Amino acid sequence: MKTPAILFFLALSLPLTAAACPIGMQFNGNGCSPPYQYSMDDWIRQQRDYVDSLGPKGPPAQGLTLEESRALQKGLAEQEKEQQEKRRAHAKGVWHVETKATPEGNLCAAVFSKYKLDEGGVVTIVGFQKPKTDAWLIFQGAGLPKPQKVEKLRITLQQDDEPAQTLQVFNYRESREVGTVMFAVPGLAAALDGMRDQQSFRLSLDGKTLMAIQWTGGAAVIEKLRQCAK
């Protein structure tokens, strides 16, 4: 019998305001985040890596001395070498798992990054330890809408060969280059029951694909999240 897909979605019935976020999330001045300050260093690093992978953001500085210009060029060459190594790794796909203790139990997150040029993106599964039911599935990608404030829209999600679902989600701009789409799910345990070792996702709007990504090697991550969520 086929394992059910990762998501059994909750209705998102909050009134739409400039700071609307899914239940359990809080508005952080730009988008939505969990209600506790927590160190998701790898998540933040992967977001920055993803933005950096999209290319240079402007022309080199002007009016430098010869020595300053050479130092700048050397620094840029080293930075580009580092970015190339990161891009090669992320083109294959990279997982990270993070845990943060909070007054309401562990906050557990798994982050998968896979991108090449402007394809792919970052997928995050994040939620609280039982019995708290707040949990979310978050997609970040260059092709996702990038509104100035948090908004709701209807996105069609195709998981593997499961029937596509059109659902209301929260959408905001992570940066000028990257948009975020956030789904609320009924608990981390339910999300884990639907996770597979290999899984694909396709997000589309009005028939146009906005983001497509497939992870592999999810079995070990699922087990780590189960331990965190107990």
Q: Give the pairing of strands 119-128 and 134-141.
A: antiparallel
Is pLDDT at 148 greater than 70 in this prediction?
yes
Q: What is the mean pLDDT of the chain?
A: 80
Is pLDDT at 51 greater than 70 in this prediction?
no
Do the beta carbons of residue 14 and residue 51 sit within 8 Å?
A: no
Model confidence at 30, in pLDDT bands (50, 70, 90)?
confident
- Give CA–CA dist 216/7, Å, rounded: 18
Is pLDDT at 17 greater than 70 in this prediction?
no
Burial class (CB within 10 angstroms; exposed 0-12, middle 13-18, buried 19+) of 144: buried
Give the mean pLDDT of 92-114: 88
Percent of the chain with pLDDT over 90: 33
Helix residue spans in the chain (DSSP H) = 41-53, 66-92, 188-194, 218-229
Is pLDDT at 104 greater than 60 in this prediction?
yes
Residues β-bridged to residue 223: none
Give the mean pLDDT of 219-226: 94
Could you tell me the pTM of the whole model?
A: 0.76
- At residue 160, the pLDDT reads 92
- Give CA–CA dist 114/120, Å, rounded: 6
- At residue 13, the pLDDT reads 37
Q: How far is residue 90 from each of residues 144, 201, 228, measured CA to CA in Å?
A: 19, 17, 25
